Structure 1
Amino acid sequence: MTMDSPIYYAKSEFIETDTGNKVSRRAVIAGPQNIILGGKTIISHGAIIRGDLRRTGPGHAVVISLGRYCLIGEGCVMRPPYKTYRGAFNYYPMKIGDHVHIGAGSVVEAATIGNHVEIGKNCVIGKFTIIKDCAKIADDTIIPSNTVIPALSIFSGSPGRFVEDLPESTQEMVEAHTKQYYTRFQSQPTDR
């Protein structure tokens, strides 16, 4: 299979929005009115996005926003971060930038994920983590709550630690990868 060969999915398995988002019918999108997708985002089957969690008080829904060309892997769990403040339990918004790839099986409770970020498979991104632009989290990494991941850095391990700096070309490489993946992700041609 070459890098350019299509990744086929059954059209009946995905809902495609007018902005090009492709959402698996087997993903759990709780509280969709509180989830903003920027466009051309793919949400794989088994992913769970919790837009139904509320701040205390009436009508304070917490918004999860994803930018353009985000790839949410199979079985990912995304839920807004929470804390108890002055005895009140509150959820807080989660903002994810453009060209973010979250690998299969990862659990994300970050406050902010910048643009051009790659999160590997089976990672745990702790509550209120801030991941700056063009960072990479290696597979099976656990990032403790309240960690700030600097731009152009790779973190790995349990707990996740700085490994090395990424090249300045990271933005272009990640953008090319997410756009190429989106282009290759096509509905199965009908059987003849």
Structure 2
Amino acid sequence: MELSITRYDKAEYIETDTGNKVSRKSVICGSQNIVLGGKTIIQTDCVIRGDLRRVGGGPTVVVAIGKYCVLSARCVLRPPYKTFKGVFNYYPMKLGDYVYVGEDTIVEAATIGNFVQIGNNCVIGRFAIIKDCVKIEDGTVVPPHAVISSFSIVRGSPGLCAGELPECIQDVYEQETKDYYAKFVPRR
């Protein structure tokens, strides 16, 4: 599949030293608690909640995002939370490298591995663990605390394994996210 060039208004995006492209129209709360791995694209109206962190001591990194990730328009990344021994707390969220999150998707997972594609209009429940090399199709709802094994294709509500990906998918997803980044260029 050949990706077309996506042109954006250069004034709308901030480009960091590590090549991250972040829309000025995105909502990033608690930026001091968010780590971007480099060459990540955060598009318009994306919401990342780095301000939702554990009370008292604990890790200062709330949301960690790997390299060559694409967070599409209007997606929401919110750390998972629970009440333990009567105390309400948020827990860190980690996205691996080469992850694509589709439009209008809400993610509250604990961990998303490397080489993962999440479709549009998905909900990834609290504390879900998505292993490496997974495809989650459009409109899928992954229930809280679910564990999605590597090389799975997941669809439906609730999200169930609907097939397997080939072993070469790692190379395919890596190339697709690198191509997306390379073809995400400013207007002249």
For Structure 1 versus Structure 2, the TM-score category normalised by the shorter chain is over 0.9
**CA separation in 1, counterparts of 2:137 and 2:3?**
24
**CA separation in 2, counterparts of 1:28 and 1:61?**
19
* One-letter code aligned to 1:182: Y
| Aligned positions of 1:9-48 closer than 5 A | 9-48=8-47
Q: Which residue is 1:99 aligned to?
A: 98
TM-score of the aligned structures, taking structure 1 as reference length: 0.95
* One-letter code aligned to 2:177: T
**CA separation in 2, counterparts of 1:59 and 1:65?**
15
CA-to-aligned-CA distance 1:42-88 (integer Å, 9 cap, x gap): 00001000000121226864520000000001000101000000010
**CA separation in 2, counterparts of 1:135 and 1:169?**
12
CA contact (8 A) 2:66 2:96 kept: yes
| Aligned positions of 1:1-192 closer than 5 A | 3=2, 5-57=4-56, 61=60, 63-189=62-188
**CA separation in 2, counterparts of 1:53 and 1:31?**
8
For structure 2, the residue ranges without an aligned partner over 5 or more in a row are none
* One-letter code aligned to 1:102: V
CA-to-aligned-CA distance 1:144-186 (integer Å, 9 cap, x gap): 0000000000010000001001001110110010000000000
TM-score of the aligned structures, taking structure 2 as reference length: 0.97
CA contact (8 A) 2:53 2:62 kept: no
CA contact (8 A) 1:95 1:113 kept: yes
- CA distance 1:59–1:150, change in 2 (3 Å): closer
CA contact (8 A) 2:53 2:92 kept: no
- CA distance 1:82–1:39, change in 2 (3 Å): same
* 1:162 partner SS: strand
CA-to-aligned-CA distance 1:9-44 (integer Å, 9 cap, x gap): 000000000000000000001000000000000000
Residue correspondences, number: 188
* One-letter code aligned to 1:84: T
- TM superposition outliers: structure 1 runs of 4+ over 3 Å: 58-62
Could you tell me the percent identity over the aligned residues?
57
* 2:153 partner SS: strand
Give me the CA root mean square deviation: 1.3
Question: How far apart are 1:6 and its partner, in Å?
Answer: 1.9
For structure 1, the residue ranges without an aligned partner over 5 or more in a row are none
* 1:39 partner SS: coil
